[in-house]
Structure 1
Amino acid sequence: MIKEVIVVEGRDDISAVKRAVEAEVLAVGGFGINKKVIDKIREAQIRQGVIVLTDPDFAGEKIRKIIAKRVIGIKHAYIDQKEGTKDGDIGVENAEPEAIIRALEKARCTLKEVQSTFTVQDMIYFRLMGNTNSKEIREFIGKELGIGYCNSSQFLSRLNSYGITKEEFIEAVNKMNNVIKR
């Protein structure tokens, strides 16, 4: 049982989450996020906490940002784009229960004071940017850390905003290197 309220985009997402976990789930209705919906999310955050689990696409990220801007202290969970894609359609509703559970287990809260643990130099050194396979590396490490996939600038921001430690990061890099060697 998940204690937080899980915020998703639509009704089909509610069904997918309920297949994966026992939890209270609230749909925002896509871009139709109005004051009433934000007030419900705020109330849920005060009452028991909120985890935002939106689709791994541009629209999902935009909805996530709208919510995060208006409701402080929420957690963010990300499903991998590949895990959320079925027949060319991207969405939480397409993810298997295991992928949803994994995303929820790795949910992270944005820190009040963003750290500067990671730098652009780290991004280059670990081939997260400026390399022919940087996208694939960010996908793997983002999935391992539970921060989702994004461009290099946003990835650096998420590393620092979600308080990822150097130890967690190195563990994800090592796991990636072990998978590649096989």
Structure 2
Amino acid sequence: MIQQVIVVEGKSDIARVGMAVDADMIATGGFALTGKTIEKIRNAYEKRGIIILTDPDGPGERIRQRLTKLFPKALHAFVPKSEASTEDDVGIEDASPESIRKALSTLRIRQMEDSHLFSAADLFEASLTGQADSASRRAKVGALLGIGYGNGKQFVKRLNHYGITREEWKKAVEACEEGSSC
């Protein structure tokens, strides 16, 4: 059983994550978090720690940002959008148990201080910006690093705030260039 409580968006997410791992979970009920839900999450955060696992879409990212402000030492797990999508939906409820387990095996903590280790030039040099296939390459490198997808600016911010090292970066970019993941 996972020690931390996993925070997801809805009941369908709870059902899907439950197929992948043995863990306690709390559903936010979407972006309109109630005081009661925030208090439940706060209790879990203080007693056991929490893992934020929101949908890989805009609303999921906004929920993640709000929870991160409230709970700055929360752990983060990211399921790549490509592994959590159907023809007409994107969400944790659409991810395979294997994808969820993989995301939970690569937990990150958001550091409030920017490491300033990475810049837009790093993304350009690795063809993660400025190329026709840059968005898909960023998605794949983000999946390898366990930080999810973001546009160029968001991606640099994630690299600098989720403790990514130059060694991890180099390994992920090389794997992408070798074609094993990109």
Fold similarity call, TM over 0.5? yes
Alpha-carbon distance, 1:36 to partner:
2.0
Quick check: 1:156 aligned with 2:156?
Answer: yes
Contact 2:175 2:181 in 1 (8 A): no
* Distance in 1 (alpha carbons) for counterparts of 2:77 and 2:181: 29
Alpha-carbon distance, 1:119 to partner:
1.2
Alignment partner, residue 47 of structure 1: 47
Quick check: 1:116 aligned with 2:101?
Answer: no
Deviation sequence 1:37-80 (CA, Å, 0-9, x none): 22221211111111111111111111111111111200111111
Matched pairs, number: 182
Quick check: 1:20 aligned with 2:48?
Answer: no
Give the TM-score of the pair, scaled to structure 1.
Answer: 0.95
Unaligned stretches of 5+ in structure 1? none
Alpha-carbon distance, 1:35 to partner:
2.2
* Distance in 2 (alpha carbons) for counterparts of 1:113 and 1:31: 26
Residue 36 and residue 124 in structure 1: after superposition, are their counterparts in 2 closer, same or farther (change >3 A)?
A: same
Contact 2:140 2:181 in 1 (8 A): no
Contact 1:9 1:30 in 2 (8 A): yes
Alpha-carbon distance, 1:131 to partner:
1.7
Alignment partner, residue 101 of structure 2: 101
- Give the match's secondary structure for 2:67: helix
- Please list every run of at least 4 consecutive aligned residues from structure 1 whose deviation after the TM superposition is greater than 4 angstroms: none
Please tell me the root mean square deviation across aligned C-alpha atoms, in Å.
1.5
% same residue? 42
Alpha-carbon distance, 1:4 to partner:
0.8
* Distance in 2 (alpha carbons) for counterparts of 1:129 and 1:42: 38
- Give the match's secondary structure for 1:6: strand
Give the TM-score of the pair, scaled to structure 2.
Answer: 0.95
